[in-house]
Chain A
Amino acid sequence: MIDPRRAYEIFAAALDRAGEDRDAFVAAACGDDAALRDEVNNLLRVALDESVPALLLSGEAVAEPPSQVGQQFSHFRLIERIGIGGMGIVYRAERIDGVPQSVAIKLLIGEMAGPDFERFQREAQILARLEHPAVARLVDTGTQNGRTWIAIEYVRGTRIDAYCDRRKVPIRQRVQLLIELTEAVAAAHRMLVVHRDIKPANVLVTEEGFPKLIDFGIGAVLPAADSAQLANPGRLFTPNYSSPEQVAGGPASVATDVFGLGALGYRLLCGIPPFPDATEPLRYMMAVAHDDPEAPTIAAGRAGRDARLVRELRGDLDAILLKALARDPARRYATANDLAADLRRYLANEPVEAREPSLAYRVRKFAGRNRIAVAAALLLLGGALVAGVVYIRQARAVALARDMAAQRDHFLESLLTSANPSIGRRDVMVADLLDRVLAKSDEDISTDPLVAASILGVVGRTEKGLGRYHEAHLANDRQLALARRFPGDKTQLIDALNLQSLVLYVEGRPADAEAPSREILQILDNRCDPQGVYADTVDILGEIEAIGQRDGEAEAAYQAELACARRYQGPKWSARTVHALNNLMMHYEYLGRRAQALATGEEALALAETAFAADAPYRLITELNYADTLAMYGHAVDAEPKIRSILARRLSVLGADHPETLMTGTSLAKDLLFQHRYAEAARTADDAASSLTRVVGPDHWLTANAWQALGRAQCHSGQPLEGMDNLQRAEAVYASRFTPSGWQTLQARAGIGSCLLAQHRYAEAAPLLQQAASGLESSGRNQYFATQAAYADLRDLYAATGNATAAAQWGSKVDASY
């Protein structure tokens, strides 16, 4: 009797081969089993021989869509096709601008236009900021010939289910893979991004054994992916991992990803997905909505997994997976980190939370509608004690660092989960929670001083985020004191010092922020580290020094940041390099060092163009800074189209009311001012000013910038009184936001003087212009365009009042190129 499976398999493999190869293959595969060979040959005859009636089967072969290999999309060239998914065709592509980078490019099926495309771009911006070693990063997006494409970091790897099955990966390693993925998902949740489509097809494992999630949040950015997505058969292709709430058409949430991770874990640990009998989308939808999955132990047993494995699953893993897969989202783990923590507890042979429903129940009862925030407090405090125990038992710094990081992450994630507006009274609750931590002694927070320091650091940073600087200092001082008791643990000390300088800086005490920053540099021995602590620190120092008008030191700090950033590769460092170049360009610009400012700006721009997508925030900021500089230094006509193009991109990506869009409006107004197109400048600045007043408030320096441009334009277009008003408002904001003698304030004052001059009110104009000119000059900004403008105004003023000597004196300071 012939084994039909064998015959089929040999036949199928033979059909893929050509002529003589095929005969040889069949002969070798069948050996001397003549019956088998006959059967295979019969099948081949039916499949190939046109004289056999069965061949009349009208199975028309359809040409595959024409390959796009070799085509170029932005700065990528398609190298080979690697798959077809529900979204479209996927190619591997390489960058062609010298930067070595492989990406997977998805050419989406169908066109995307109008609001759909704008939304897609906005969402993609958020996704592009998501960086985690276990997440394939979104690199770029665009449209070409009416087709939208997405470039994602290319991952060379195997699907996680195939990887585990083929290599017979042991259970504990599978749990470890799941933990890594769960942590990646938690990191994304902290950025408020939900994956919403976690399944084996979306997880690859690299040669080195690292898991990578692909298509993070991509489903959300596609226009068809509305709430109807899963109930609509159009996108039902692999629903075997979707959650009950998605199947019911509900929105995806943190709980959805917890379910997806549970389903993925189920598949990895049992060898079959939850609801394995529901192979059709429809049956799956019904099953997941109405039934609980079988306990993994039973499922694994039924799937014929070996007894040892089944024994391992029994108890804790059963409980963990079923808790993650609970039909009611509220009964699942509250956060992805909670799931990761329970999986880690399983690996550490500690009791898992999933098996203590009564505790969870008590927490819920007690916490009422703010349960998550309170649960975070309980877990934070309880967890800290556990962390201490683990530390003593293992007595290993590495384990401690990991555990502290876990505590911190859990805390942050819980805070973000509780930041759901529907929960309400968020700040009060979080502040209350933090107060309770602060009310405890260090020993009560954790018996281990470094764990306590780490938690106080989190509390301090959160307080800073809430704007409670006093409390932030309380927590930070304690953190610092604890950290200083362990000079060996530099990480904690640096963290504490960094927090101290940040809090001092944001609360407007930049001079005091300098000491902690300097101490960090000392600890680092002034060395540029790959973690970026050095670059961060010199960046803050540069700002502090620039505010203090210590221009030489600020320049040195920015140069040091630049040199450090150039030593390393990768997107993070490209961004850092562009940032440092930006800092330097602005610095040179204020100092009036035009040639250097323009050259540095061009360098920043060139790098930003290769490193970032056309609509990436860093690139737009760089382009705008450069255009502003151009406008300021006599190239206003060239700068105008550049500014308008940035404005258009920001409008489409960020919307009309975004501060960055409005800021670009101010830039355009300034550019028009330089072109003496005052009426247009006034209209543009007025629009920006009124929107900014609404969006960021009347006390913000961004609003003051718009008022200043508006005031200047009005002074030159027949509305001098309104113009004076607006300039004075700007001056007042600068004086309170920066310093009364700062260059921003002086620049506004020069504007008022200039306005008075235009009205021939010479006696009032003279002292203001002189104050501004000498103030700006004394800070070394004599070449700055505002200083030059003040010189020219003073020259004209004295010429008009008949003081030829003074006119000549001021005139001599005006640069020939101005």
Chain B
Amino acid sequence: MDPSRTGSPDIAELLARWSRGDRAAFDALVARLYKEMHAIAVRQLRGERHLTIEPTALVNEVYLRLVGLSHLQLRDRAHFLSIAARIARQSLVDEARRRRASKRGGGDPVTLSDANLGPAGVAYDAVDVDDLLTQLQDFDALAADVVTLRVFGGLSIKEVAEALSSSVGIVNRRWATGKAWLSWELQKR
């Protein structure tokens, strides 16, 4: 694989070290993950007229890139994705807030479009989604986690259950309530 394509020649090595239990490698990898995601987000946003981004695509791209680079199956996909989902949420919202601030509130919002969140073609303000999830966190932390992993990481119900050490039944229920609440609140805005 051509290292210059990713600009991060040592990701494969970091992954290998991480799988051997090297915590420093894990830190470096997460920092790199954030950078990668943020870079992809910024690049996409720059090219897009509507400034709409599909976060799960972002996560999947990083995931596939890492797997391709390391020539190995990440030992636990669900957990990797759950970490990536949180980082994706962070990097996207950081970017959205940065834009908002630089345009003094008058600029185009960064919007999220995701099949997991609403009908195709409908986009939501990333900052709104983040605010609402933070609010949901306050009254149903598990539901907020489930929604974050589903919306920002594209995890299946089963993967969410694995990543959160919960049961499929519980995750199904939290997804139903969390998703409905978020959709309704977004419709109201």
Contact = CB atoms under 8 A, between A and B. Distances in A.
B180 interface: yes
A400 interface: no
Contact of A249 (B22, B115, B150, B175): B22
A801 B140 CA distance: 98
Given A8-B140, A62-B158, 15 more contacts: A8-B139, A11-B181, A42-B184, A43-B181, A53-B119, A57-B116, A57-B117, A62-B156, A64-B169, A84-B165, A230-B21, A232-B18, A237-B165, A247-B23, A285-B26
Interface in B145-162: 150, 156-158, 161
Interface in B72-124: 75-76, 79-80, 83, 86, 115-119, 122
B169 to A, nearest CB: 5
Given A5-B138, A57-B116, A64-B167, A234 B79 contact: yes
Given A62-B168, A64-B167, A233-B79, A46 B26 contact: no
B39 to A, nearest CB: 19
A56 B138 CA distance: 26
A763 interface: no
A56 B119 contact: yes
B76 A84 contact: no
A280 B83 contact: yes
A61 B118 CA distance: 16
B157 A61 contact: yes
A176 interface: no
Nearest to A238: B165
A86 B22 CA distance: 22
A235 B119 CA distance: 35
Interface of A: 4-5, 8-9, 11-12, 15-16, 42-44, 46-47, 53-54, 56-65, 83-86, 226-238, 247-249, 280-282, 285-286, 289
A340 B124 CA distance: 55
A223 B21 CA distance: 15
Given A5-B139, A61-B157, A231 B23 contact: yes
B118 A59 contact: no
A42 B76 CA distance: 38
A282 B173 CA distance: 27
B38 interface: no
A53 B120 CA distance: 10
B120 to A, nearest CB: 8
B172 interface: yes
B75 A16 contact: no
B30 A47 contact: no
A16 B21 contact: no
A235 B21 CA distance: 12
B164 interface: yes
Contacts of B57: none
A80 to B, nearest CB: 13
Interface in B4-23: 18-23
Contact of B161 (A5, A84, A281): A84
Contacts of A85: 165
B176 interface: yes
B55 to A, nearest CB: 15
A61 B180 CA distance: 14
A58 B75 contact: no
Nearest to B81: A233
Contacts of A227: 21
Contact of B83 (A54, A64, A84, A282): A282
B177 interface: yes
Contacts of A234: 75-76, 79
Given A64-B168, A282-B30, A232 B19 contact: yes
B60 to A, nearest CB: 15
Contact of A233 (B27, B80, B150, B172): B80
A254 B116 CA distance: 46
Contacts of B163: 237
A12 B177 contact: yes
Given A15-B177, A285-B26, A233 B83 contact: yes
A231 B157 contact: no
Given A57-B183, A232-B21, A236-B79, A15 B117 contact: no
A790 to B, nearest CB: 64
Contacts of A282: 26, 30, 83
A46 B187 CA distance: 10
Contacts of A9: 139
A607 B167 CA distance: 39
A84 B177 CA distance: 21
A230 B19 CA distance: 10
5 contacts: A8-B140, A11-B177, A47-B179, A59-B116, A237-B79
Contact of A47 (B26, B138, B166, B176): B176
Nearest to A85: B165
A86 B78 CA distance: 12
Given A12-B140, A231-B26, A280-B86, A60 B184 contact: no
Given A54-B183, A234-B75, A280-B86, A59 B177 contact: no
B83 A43 contact: no
A231 B165 contact: no
B134 interface: no
B124 to A, nearest CB: 11
A144 B117 CA distance: 42
A36 B122 CA distance: 27
A248 B23 contact: yes
A289 B168 CA distance: 33
A402 to B, nearest CB: 38
Contacts of A65: 168
A59 B21 contact: no
A521 to B, nearest CB: 54
A134 B165 CA distance: 25
B135 A61 contact: no
A44 B26 CA distance: 42
B166 A15 contact: no
A46 B179 CA distance: 9
A782 to B, nearest CB: 66
A231 B28 CA distance: 13
B139 A232 contact: no
Contacts of B20: 228
Contact of A59 (B75, B76, B143, B176): B176
Contacts of A236: 79
B180 A43 contact: yes
A86 B161 CA distance: 10
Given A15-B176, A56-B118, A233 B76 contact: yes
Closest 5 CB pairs of A and B: A228-B21, A234-B76, A249-B21, A47-B180, A54-B183
Contacts of A285: 23, 26-27
A523 to B, nearest CB: 54
A11 B117 CA distance: 19
B119 A8 contact: no
Nearest to A84: B167
A157 to B, nearest CB: 19
Contacts of A229: 21
A721 B30 CA distance: 74
A303 B177 CA distance: 28
